[in-house]
Structures are given as C-alpha cells and as structure tokens.
Chains A and B, each alone.
Chain A
Amino acid sequence: MLKRRRDPAAVNSRLIRRPIQRMFWLFLLPMTGAFCIGFVYPFLKGLFLSFCKFKTTSKWTWVGLANYGKAFADESFRYSFGYTAIFAIVSLIIINVLAFAVAYALTQGIKGTNVFRTVFFMPNLIGGIVLGYIWSMIFDGILSHYGTSILLNTKIGFWGLIILMCWQQIGYMMIIYIAGLQAVPEDMLEAAKIDGANKWQTLWKVTIPNVMPSITICMFLTLTNGFKLFDQNLALTGGQPYIINPDGTTVHTTEMLALNIYNTFYGQNANARGTAQAKAVLFFILVAAIGLIQLSATRKKEVQQ
C-alpha cells in the first residue's frame, strides 16, 4: 500500500505541478522577451520607418506612402525581383533533385555512407561571405583562361551563384531527405516488392509519397533561401556586371532583391533610406506569401501513414 502512495516530491506531483502551471508565464517570459527584442520590435519599427523619411532610425519625418511609390517606380527593383524569382525557382529544382538523389544513393547501404554524408554536409558550415569569395576565386581562376570573369558575364554570374548555392545547400537538404527516407516503412517497401514493383515504380509510388513531408520542408527552405539570398550574392558578384543604359542609369544584372535593398540603403544618398525600407517591407510580404502558398500546396500532397 505504501508503495502505491504518490510521492509528494515527484516531478509530476500536484505540489510541484500546480505552481508551475500557475507561473507558466514566468517561464515563457525569457523567450518571449527575446522574441520581442529580436523580432517584434525591429519588425514593427521597420514597418513604421517605411512610411518615413529618415537618416538614422531615431530621427524621422512621416511621408506616408511616398516611399512605396518610389520603390515600385524603381526599375532596378523590378529587375531584381524577376531575377530573384528565376534564381529561386532554378535553385529550388536543382537543389532538391540533387539532394534527393544523393540522399537516395546514400540510403542504399553503399560503403562509406557516413563519410559521404559528412563530406556533403560540410559546406553548409561555412559562412556565405567566405563561400562567395572562395568561389569567386575558383571561378575567376578558371575563367581567366578564357579571358573573362564572373564579373563580366551575366549568365556566368547566374550559374555561378546556382553552383555555389547547390554546393552549400545540397548537403543540408540531403540530411532532411535521409531522415525522411529512413522513415519509409519497411513493410510497405516489402509489399511493393512482393507485388512485383520494380525499383522505379517503388520510388515513385511508395517512397516519394512517403517522404512528402521532407519534400515540403526542403522546398520551403530552398525557396525562401533563394529569395532571401544576400551574402553569397554580395561576395560572389556584387551585382556585376552592370548594363550601362545610354541615359546613364544602370541595371545591376546579377543583383538580387536583398542586395538591391542593401544598395539602396547604403549606396545612395540618405534620402533613399525610406525607399529601401519600403522595399524591405514589400520583400517580407513577398517571401512570406510565396512561402505560405508553397507550404499549403505541398502539404496537400502529403500522405498520412
């Protein structure tokens, strides 16, 4: 009998649970505080500043929607939007296909699987700026033999950035896919085998539907990463080469949205800072919307086990 009695000092006992339940806000506070300081406050302030003219964030004058007007009228912003969209889609497809292929290969029990996984994952541990400079050296080392440079050719700039992103991200996505592939129920695969499905059919009809959750998350990550790309873009091409229009305006042919915002904020006169802020808000809405649409679209394809 005694043994069955509840221990009043146990972690799940009422005596301890009650005060925790009552004071749960205290436990939430540090995280919420950090969230506010690190996200909510800067976000709201940024939103507010997009309606202002300012040089430093503490001194502003209200200008209403003027900044948004300027942002939409800016040709370079529209160009970089299109460029970013193409980049995001191309990188999304290539990264996911390759990452899945690598993950699939590395779950087939070949020798040295762990070594390969580590090697593929490693590039993800290097910072974007460093990667950008390293790859610009690699590309230029090769391209100088052909009398060109990554800074001189828009197409090379684009594919250079794609290669860089693939190199960096495939390993990361691979890890997610491997986890997904390992969770595919053995009995399903066995059943397919017994039913006479070949490898290709098993892959398409059994494996892929079962790793749909991984595909959702990987697509979400690559898509938003593609849209948000900044460091690598800055370090690899910095927006070069430019098209010099006859009227003296320029189009930065490899400049993506985030870099465009940065260049508007710092590269130009301080009058443009509000415009840059407005661009940043538009950028947020865009990335959030695209991310959510993509999430809901792929979610529907997920199967419940």
Chain B
Amino acid sequence: MKKLIALFLALVLALGLMACASSANTETTTQPAETTAPAEETKTEEAAPAEEATEEAAPAAAGSVYWLNFKPESDETLQKVAAMYTEKTGVPVTVVTAASGTYNETLTAEMDKSKMPTLFVVGNQAAISTWGDYCYDLTGTPIANELTTDAYNLYDEDGKLCSIGYCYECYGIIVNKKLLSEAGYDIADIKNFEALKTAAEDIHARAAELGFDAFTSSSMSSDSSWRFTGHMANLEYYYESVDDPAAWESCPATITGKYMQNYKNLWDLYINNSATNPADLAAGGFDAQAEFAEGKAVFYSQGNWEWSALQEKGMNADDLTMIPYYCGVDGEEKAGLNCGTENCWAVNAEASEEDIQATLDFMYWMVTDADASRLLVDSFGVMPYKQAVESTNPFLKIANEYTEEGNYVMPWVTNFQPNVDAYREALVAAMNQYDADQTDANWELVKTAFVDGWAVQYQAANG
C-alpha cells in the first residue's frame, strides 16, 4: 500500500509539473487580457472598439502598444494621451509606469512576459549594452525623420539607431533672483566660480540676519544623490571630453580625473554654505525642493523639470533663473547649461510586426498631433520634433538664451557612466565619508571612487 501511495505521489508531482508547463505554454501563445504588472496600470483597450473609429483613420495594423514609462511624474498625462489615441484610431495603448527608481527591475520582469513592452526607455550607454539586442533599428522610420536633432539619439557599436530622444532637459543651479538681490547681489555679475563663491559665502555668513541661506540641503539619500553623483559629476566628464574629444566618442575605459578639483570646489560650496550640517547629509531625509520653494535658500542644484512643482508651490518664473555649474574652469564665463536627456524611446524588436508598426504609428502621432504634443510638451518640457508644439518651460528658454548668446552647451556626458548604479553608490559612500570629515585623505577616497571606480565598473560591464 505504501508503495502505491508513493507511486501516486510521484504521479501527482509529475502531473503538477505538466500543469505548470502547459500553463506556461498557453501564456506564450495567447495574449492574456490581464497582465499582472506590479506598477500602476490603466487599460484603455476597452475604451473604444476598433469598428467605431474606422471612418476617421483606419488602424494601420492590428497591433497594440504597450509603453513602459520611465517618468512617474508624467504618468497622468500619458494615460490621457493613450486614451486619446485609442479613441481616435481604435488601437489599444497600455501605459504602465514603473515606480521611481525601479525602471530596470520592472523592465527586466516585463520583458519576460508574453505581453512585453513594445515601447520602452533606453536612456544611456549602459542601458544600450543591456538592452541593445531588444532595440528595433529606428533608422529611416517616419518618427526618426521628424527629429530636429541627432544629439539625443543613441547608437550601438554597429551603428544601429537604438533609441531616439523624446524630450530633453537641462540642469544647472536654479537661482532665486529675488532673494539674491535682497542679499545685495545681481545675477548678471555671477559669471564664474569666484563670483558665485563670494556671493554664497557672504549669504551663508549672514543667513541669520537675511532669513535665508545660500544653498538648499544636498541630501545624499537615493532620492537626491543623483543630483550630485549624476548631474554635478557631468562637469568633470564634460571638461575632460573637451580636452580629448576622441576618447569620449564612446564610453572611455578610463578617465583621468583632471577636473576633480573643480568638482570639489563646487561640492564644498554646496555643503558648507547651507543650513544643513554636512555630517547629516548621509542620512538624508531633507526636502531641498520645499526649502527652495519656501524661500529658505537662494541656490538649488536641479533641472528644468522642477518648474511645474515650483510653479505649483507658488513660485514665479520671473524670480527664477538657472546658471551653469561654475566651478573654476578657465573660460567658464562662456558656459551654458547642461542639456541632454535620458529619455529615449526604443521600440522592442522582439515584439510582433503588427505591434512594432502600431507602436511606430503611435509615436509618430504623438509628435505630430497638435493636441497630443501640447499635453506631452507641457509634461516633458520640450520635444525635439519638427511638428511638436513649443515649450513653455522657463528654464529651457534660459538654456536656449545661453546658446543664443554664444555660450557652450554642456551635453550630458554623464550618460556614459558604466554600471551606473554601482558606480554612483560607491561615489555616494565616499562622499558621505568626506562630508562627515572634510579631510584631504577622505577626498582621495572620493577621487578613487570617481576615477578608479569608473575603470572598475567599465571592466565589470564590458570585460
């Protein structure tokens, strides 16, 4: 009897396995109506049956679009745009937004599903080396022909056009001009590091009397550290790339760290001229945006996307401006803002023909339709496409003014950072030690993480 039971048990186990296998099979062949996406998800498929819209514009293909969105702040707009498109053409568009900071994890999981994203974000060289195989070659597609610039496109080693920028951004130091003049300084005079340092140190010294400080807190928790390990680090990479453009055409295996002193200049200024004790920065938990919006600080290291939040908090565009990272480099009076993007669309080459076509059509519509591009531009800032509507973002306007005045743009060289998460975490760790105890020995650690860490991570990523 016992043997019989054992036999049965084994059979049942085998049965269970078969059940698993067959369920896995059905998953790959059919398109299940409901996916179990971990992120917020709104479906628009059911919104309008295809037949209704045939008269307006016959759907070009039977495919559907699944956009795995990268910007949580734009989710609401994208859902609206998706619904608009479905209503117009009958093509189902699903927009799923990955929670902040988990794009890579979400993408990895979603790419395994039978209903994989057809439109996703591949925003830097590290992502190209991971997801390059999944990128559909966009060369010559209608959407690529709509681009006004090639500056934000990413290519793989074979020259395949993997992803195209759908918006670009600029960052630098946001300045509250009103407070600055209250402190007795004019923004027109701050054209280099010396002037910035003088103003910042004076404001910090008189903080109690003025009622505000020079810089907002530079929190090193993960919701804020990218402002320094990603954005601000760009100044170092950028000036290196100016010295040796050939080496920086693609991700260099090593960097020299020649401009580390300039990085240090600015960092020291940030942390030592703020109301926050530098030793507390590691723990984080500060809200720099609120400090700036409440008028507690004059300078705030951030990007143009902050505009909508600052506006909501009652700030006025006339009181604000953005200045470049002045860090003590020769000729920096002619510097402009850091312009670039990590927001690049890639189309999934593994998706079915119909889905790829539907996705390309959807992308084309987004940048050519006046209503859709209005919504998107208001959310993204600006879209580099011929027929897209104009931007209303004041910081992007400033970025353009710098360029028009003949200043040099500092592109986002920082996008080359190899194994970006691991690299930046090490940098954060080193900077935390430096902040708590600002000695030369500790700065050496930052330098090591910055320069040698690059080589280590490059090896890990490409070795």
Contact = CB atoms under 8 A, between A and B. Distances in A.
A36 B20 contact: yes
Contact of A36 (B19, B285, B426, B452): B19
Given A37-B20, A41-B20, A269-B129, A140 B422 contact: no
A238 B426 CA distance: 11
Chain B interface mostly helix, strand, loop or mixed?
helix
Nearest to B463: A271
A32 B452 contact: no
A152 interface: yes
Output the residue of A33, A136, A152, A248 with the most chain B CB within 10 A: A248
Given A152-B282, A266-B105, A29 B430 contact: no
Contacts of B460: 268-269, 272
Interface string B428-456: 11101100100000000100110111111
A152 B433 contact: yes
Output the residue of A28, A58, A143, A151 with the most chain B CB within 10 A: A151
B8 interface: yes
Contacts of B456: 247-250
A244 B430 contact: yes
B16 A35 contact: yes
A198 interface: no
A56 B108 contact: yes
Interface in A15-54: 24-25, 28-29, 32-33, 35-37, 40-41
Nearest to A137: B285
B436 A152 contact: yes
Interface residues of B, number: 54
Output the residue of A29, A143, A241, A268 with the most chain B CB within 10 A: A268
Contacts of B279: 144, 147-149
Interface in B411-436: 418-419, 421-422, 425-426, 428-430, 432-433, 436
B161 interface: no
Contact of A151 (B129, B432, B448): B432
A222 to B, nearest CB: 29
Contacts of A144: 277, 279-280, 283
Given A28-B12, A29-B15, A151-B282, A244 B432 contact: no
Nearest to A271: B461
Contacts of B54: none
Interface in A233-274: 238-242, 244-250, 263, 266-272
A interface, size bucket: 35 or more
B60 interface: no
A255 B421 CA distance: 16
A267 B430 CA distance: 17
B12 A25 contact: yes
A144 B451 CA distance: 30
B349 to A, nearest CB: 12
A13 interface: no
Nearest to A148: B436
B453 A36 contact: no
Contacts of A250: 426, 429, 449, 453, 456
A244 B449 contact: yes
Nearest to B442: A244
A57 B11 contact: no
Contacts of B11: 25
Pairs of residues from A and B, 4 with the lowest C-beta to C-beta distance, nearest first: A248-B452, A242-B429, A140-B283, A269-B461
9 contacts: A29-B16, A40-B13, A151-B429, A238-B425, A239-B425, A250-B426, A267-B425, A269-B461, A270-B129
Given A32-B12, A248-B452, 5 more contacts: A25-B12, A29-B15, A140-B280, A148-B436, A242-B449
